[in-house]
Amino acid sequence: MTGTERASGWWPGGVRARRRAATGRLLAAHDRFELSMVALRKAALDHVDCQDVASVALQAVLSQVAAQARDA
C-alpha cells in the first residue's frame, strides 16, 4: 500500500477520516443554521414590536384628528 493510495481514501483509515471530517462539517453547519434561526426569530419579534408601537402611535393620532374634527 502506497502513501498515495492511503491519501486518496482507498485505505479504510482514509474513509474513516473523511467520514469524521464530513460529520464535523455537518455539525458545524447545523450549529450555524441554529444560530441563524435564532437571529431570524429575534429580528421577527423586533419587527412585530415596532409594528405595535407604530400601531399605537397611529391610533393616538387618529383619535386626536377625530376629536379635532368633532370640535371644529
Question: How confident is the model over 47-69, as pLDDT tens digits?
Answer: 998 898 889 999 999 999 999 98
Residues spanned by the domain of 58: 3-71
Q: How confident is the model at residue 15 (pLDDT cuts 50, 70, 90)?
A: confident
Q: Nearest to residue 64, comparing CAs of 56, 9, 37?
A: 56
> Domain tally for the chain?
1
Instruction: Return the C-alpha cell found at 67.
Output: 376629536
